[in-house]
């Protein structure tokens, strides 16, 4: 599933083709994805101008001049494909329509924005402006890891006394929004913290150290266009490149990258997800 860096990369890719641009025509080619689309979605999108694009956790939010906001979640395999942008940001001609092109937005500037989702675990909805916080997918989310509310004081207080493994706690979207398996593994390696260590057994100093590390990992991943492992592509169809700099994720049995360490990367399963770590460097 695309994590925060991948979603942010897609959002940034959508901006030049959509922000300030009117949706000349919206095509909705099925009744829904993971959940049904809202009634009359094509008609409600057609003619609306996109005034801005935002991200909340792993969701993209598009502000419309009609007073509504469209919510987009890519699910497990969803992709946004942009073609025909006359500004030159995307040099692709419009491709032939594919089987899994479920929502197609024809923009006034000649761009075409397509939501393709083979496994149909994604979602799209329309929300009244200002009502995003009450939406079932957004209500209860924790602070953004790149926002000011996610700081050392907050994280120490949020994890104090918890008997939860630190890996599970950081994946809890109620504690911090947008973090996923890849980037938590990478952040814990940089912090030298074992993924199975219980939060209550980690000093406040070490927990606090995670805040700048998490920020650094996410910022580097965004700069690299995210990580392409299976289905993920940027909005222009290009791959992300952060996977080439993974220090532990997906590197089971390979040598630890820490200079002087003679151990290898190990893998354990936590709550059905693989955790990669170095048992020497992470305690």
pLDDT surpassing 70 at residue 87: no
* Per-residue confidence (pLDDT) for residue 225, from 0 to 100: 76
Q: Is the pLDDT of residue 68 over 60?
A: yes
Whether 256 shows a pLDDT value over 50: the answer reads: yes
Q: Quote the strand ranges of the chain, DSSP E.
A: 23-28, 50-56, 59-64, 68-73, 79-83, 101-107, 112-116, 123-128, 266-270, 273-277
What is the location of CATH 3.20.190.10 in the chain? 4-134
Q: Is residue 143 very low, low, confident or very high in pLDDT (cuts 50, 70, 90)?
A: very high
DSSP string, 226-283: ---SSS---TTSPPP-GGGG-SSTT-TTSBP-STT---B-EEEEETTEEEEE-TTT--
Q: Say yes or no to pLDDT of 237 above 70.
A: no
Lowest mean pLDDT among 83-87, 88-92, 128-132, 256-260: 88-92
Query: Is 60 exceeded by the pLDDT of residue 239?
Result: no
Which residue spans of the chain are classified as CATH 1.10.8.50?
152-277
> Is residue 86 pLDDT above 90, yes or no?
no
Report the pLDDT averaged over residues 213-220. 95
At residue 224, the pLDDT reads 82
pLDDT given at position 92: 57
Q: What is the per-residue pLDDT for 245? A: 81
Residues labelled as active-site residues? 2-3, 58, 273
**6 in Cβ contact with 227 (< 8 Å):** yes
Domain at 152-277: CATH code: 1.10.8.50
Provide the pLDDT for residue 233. Answer: 47
Q: What percent of the chain is predicted at pLDDT more than 90?
A: 76
* Structural class in CATH, domain 4-134: alpha beta
């Amino acid at each position: 599933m695309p994590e925060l860096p991948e979603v942010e990369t897609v959002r940034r890719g959508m901006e030049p083709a959509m922000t300030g641009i009117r949706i000349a025509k919206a095509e909705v080619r099925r009744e829904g994805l993971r959940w049904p689309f809202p009634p009359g979605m094509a008609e409600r999108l057609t003619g609306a101008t996109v005034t801005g694009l935002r991200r909340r956790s792993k969701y993209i939010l598009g502000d419309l001049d009609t007073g509504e906001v469209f919510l987009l979640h890519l699910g497990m395999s969803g992709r946004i494909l942009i073609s025909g942008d006359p500004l030159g940001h995307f040099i692709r001609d419009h491709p032939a329509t594919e089987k899994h092109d479920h929502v197609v937005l024809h923009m006034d500037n000649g761009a075409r924005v397509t939501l393709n989702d083979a496994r149909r675990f994604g979602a799209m909805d329309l929300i009244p402006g200002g009502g995003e916080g009450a939406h079932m997918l957004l209500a209860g989310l924790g602070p953004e890891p790149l926002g000011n509310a996610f700081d050392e004081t907050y994280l120490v207080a949020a994890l104090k006394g918890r008997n939860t493994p630190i890996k599970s706690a950081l994946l809890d979207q109620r504690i911090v929004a947008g973090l996923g398996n890849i980037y938590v593994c990478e952040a814990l390696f940089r912090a030298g913290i074992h993924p199975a260590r219980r939060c209550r057994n980690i000093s406040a100093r070490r927990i606090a150290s995670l805040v700048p590390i998490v920020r650094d990992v996410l910022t580097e991943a965004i700069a690299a266009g995210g990580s392409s492992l299976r289905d993920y592509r940027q909005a222009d169809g290009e791959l992300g490149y952060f996977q080439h700099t993974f220090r532990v994720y997906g590197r089971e049995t390979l040598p630890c990258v820490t200079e002087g360490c003679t151990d290898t990367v190990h893998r354990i399963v936590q709550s059905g997800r693989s955790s990669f770590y170095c048992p020497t460097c992470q305690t």
